Amino acid sequence: MNLAESLLGALKRAGVGQVFGIPGDFALPLFTVMERSAILPLHTLSHEPAVGFAADAAARITSRPGAMAVTWGAGALNAVNAVASAYAEQVPLVVISGAPGTHEGRGGLGLHHQVKTLDSQFLIYREITCDQARLDDPRLAPEAISRVLGNCIQRSRPVYFELPRDLVDAECAAAPDPVMPTASPEAIAECVAEVRARLAAARAPVVMVCVEVRRFGLEARVEQLVRQLGLPVVTSFMGRGLLAGPDSPLLGTYLGVAGDPAITDLVERSDCLLLLGVIPSDTNFGISETRLDPRAMLLARDGAVRIGHHRYADVPLAALVDGLLDGTTTRHTPLPLVPEPQAPQVFVADEAGITPADVAAAIQELFRRHGPMPMAADMGDCLFTALDIGHAELVAPGYYASMGYGVPAGLGVQAATGRRPLVLVGDGAFQMTGWELGNCRRYGWDPIVVVFNNQSWEMMRVFEPDSRYSELDDWNFAACAEPLGGEGVRVHTRAGLWQALEQAVASPGKFWLIDAMIPRGAISPTLGRYVAGLKRKRNR
Ligand code: TPW
Ligand code: MG
């Protein structure tokens, strides 16, 4: 086997399902091996940011590493924002970049795509990945591949491989499977005992779940745990979409002042908040009116558990959950776990204009009738609208918050799961990456895309209501769909929206672009509360 096959084989054994990419001359030998070997399916897209977002979404939805292949310089550096997003949101993403051959660059001339030195790209990627390897020695490559992939999985963060183009075909051994470090059983036992004691002594313990629970594939076990211990469970903002199954014990999503007051109360009054895999981001906690008491927090994330002011440095989330599951029930009177009924959202398909709340209600009704679909949301009011839809699977950039995520993420979800996704995206974000829909036809992808077309960067306007720079032109997105291989329809009323959604569901096989015309200034209830809360905090 050659070096590229060794790498691809290792990716496949690590659970990677496909590679997204765009070639370039430094990556051509790699792409040739990918195509010929067919070890993993290769999906090419149109722009590197989308390649990164698609691979990121594939990783999020499957809880397995995602993979992307790009060329050196113009390709890899074009993907920096997407990889940075994956780093911030703890997505295991394998970046493979082609690179100049081992002896290229010595002739005194700068190589095309070179920035400052031949190392510039490696140094840039060192900042946004948790481990890196330049595979420039086929004898050392298998070990390096194994180490880097191990870190990708264990730390749930992006990693980086650089593959000199002259070594792609070099003879190479298979990479050994990554060896995961084992944590000390005594440390785990001590930590578990302390967490258990804290929970047992607490007056009002609450569990909050966030992205790591999904990344490490722990949803089912956490669900079992909260049932066993009789604990109320909520998700963080970033964790929205977790525990979305029909019989889930989930109570709701904590959104501070922007959310359901009962959930906010529950979390903010808890004297023992068990935070499972929660990223302490401003989007998760910045919107609380009260400052959460660190002494009441038990935070398990990034391989460690922090309890009040002390810390167990080496207790992975899975070990803590398993340890807690192992024991007998500690609470004698389990709290009622009946989820609060969702606020009844009545959707009336009449001739009234469309608001974001109508989109949420229509989609909720659609899922009720035809079953849930996995959702991908972009940044913008569409993300807050996603929070107004009942619990359903969701991938979204809830912390790093990059625009342009939604459409490529939807493609990544469909490529990785084969399930038809629903994409929620603003008109501004659609202008960034909407073109990627043109790749659906050749792969047989058929997402349903709802564009929140308010002809505005509305989220900017809510902060700067008098700005004119936030006004966007009316691009007729619906009319773009057909030449790209899909079906487009522009809707102005709730009846039109409903009919379009029903039609889209009834006609799979091609993408549907529903261009939902929403008046400027009409925002979702959750965004309204979110912004009001932020402004209140800022003015204090
Ligand atoms: C890559 C900053 C966050 S939200 C937003 C901007 C410019 C407006 C989004 O407009 P859209 O949605 O998509 O029409 P809506 O609901 O607000 O009307 N560049 C990047 N990412 C971010 N987050 C921004 C700028 C931003
Ligand atoms: Mg907009």
Confidence category of residue 329, pLDDT binned at 50, 70, 90: low
Query: What rounded mean pLDDT belongs to the chain?
Result: 93
Map out the domains of the chain as residue ranges.
3-164, 185-325, 356-531
Mean pLDDT, to the nearest integer, of 180-201? Answer: 94
Amino acid, res. 109? L
Q: What is the mean pLDDT of residues 290-301?
A: 88
- Please tell me if the CB atom of residue 162 comes closer than 6 angstroms to any atom of ligand 1: no
Average pLDDT over residues 129-148: 98
Please check whether residue 434 is in contact with residue 389, taking contact to mean a CB–CB distance below 8 angstroms: no
The whole-number average pLDDT for the span 137-165 is: 98
422, 430, 436, 437: which is closest to 501 by C-alpha? 422
CA 408 to centroid of ligand 1, rounded, Å: 16
Residue 431: nearest ligand to its CA? 1
**First and final CA of the chain: distance in angstroms?**
64
Question: What pLDDT shows up at residue 65?
Answer: 98
Which residue in 56, 59, 33 sits closest to 45, CA to CA?
Answer: 56
CB of 428 shorter than 6 A to ligand 1: yes
Fold of 185-325: Rossmann fold (3.40.50)
**Distance between Cα 348 and ligand 1 center (Å):** 29
Distances in Å between the Cα of 231 and the Cα atoms of 194, 220, 240, 263, 341 are: 17, 15, 18, 14, 18
pLDDT tens-digit readout, 66-116? 999 999 999 999 999 999 999 999 999 999 999 999 888 777 778 888 888
Residue 379 CB less than 6 A away from ligand 1: yes
Say if 185-325 and 356-531 have the same CATH topology.
yes
- The whole-number pLDDT of residue 110 equals 81
- Report the residue among 379, 463, 517, 527 best suited for mutation to probe ligand 1: largest number of ligand atoms under 8 A from its CB: 379
Of all ligands present, the nearest one to the C-alpha of 428 is 1
- Of 388, 425, 457, the residue with max ligand 1 atoms within 8 A of its CB, to mutate for a pocket test, comes to 457
Whether residue 474 contacts residue 509, with contact meaning beta carbons closer than 8 Å, is answered with no
* Separation between Cα atoms, residue 147 and residue 142, nearest integer Å: 9
Q: Average of pLDDT values for 236-262?
A: 91
- pLDDT tens digits, 53-74: 999 999 999 999 999 999 999 9
Which CATH entry fits the domain spanning 356-531: 3.40.1410.10, 3.40.50.970, 3.10.20.30, 3.20.20.450?
Answer: 3.40.50.970
Higher pLDDT, 437 or 293: 437
Mapping DSSP onto H, E and C, the string for 265-331 reads HHHHCCCEEEEECCCCCHHHHCCCCCCCCHHHEEEEECCEEEECCEEECCCCHHHHHHHHHHCCCCC
Q: Is 241 left (phi over 0), alpha (psi -120 to 50) or beta?
A: left
Q: Which atom of ligand 1 is nearest to the CA of 454?
A: 18
Contact 507, 487 (CB under 8 A): yes
- CA–CA separation, 525 and 297 (whole Å): 29
Sign of CA dihedral 85, 86, 87, 91: positive
Closest ligand to C-alpha of residue 356 is 1
Whole-number Å distance between alpha carbons of 273 and 394: 24
Helices of type H across 483-524? 494-506
Check pLDDT > 60 for residue 335: no
Sheet holding 66-70, edge to edge: 42-44, 19-21, 66-70, 93-99, 159-164, 131-134
In this prediction, residue 370 has a pLDDT band, given cuts at 50, 70 and 90, of: very high
pLDDT score of 238 more than 90? yes
Q: How many helices (H) and strands (E) does the chain have?
A: 22, 19
Within 8 A by CB and 6+ apart from 259, the residues are 252, 253, 526, 529
At position 496, the amino acid (one-letter code) is: G
**What is the fold, at CATH topology level, of the domain defined by 3-164?**
Rossmann fold (3.40.50)
505, two tokens: 């569901």
Tokens of 254: 């904590």
Atom of ligand 1 nearest to the CA of 459: 17
Distance 285 CA to ligand 1 centre (A): 21
Distance between Cα 318 and ligand 1 center (Å): 35
| pTM listed for this prediction | 0.96
Q: 89 near 400, Cβ under 8 Å?
A: yes
Q: Which of 424, 453, 459, 461 most suits a substitution to test ligand 1, by most atoms within 8 Å of the C-beta?
A: 459
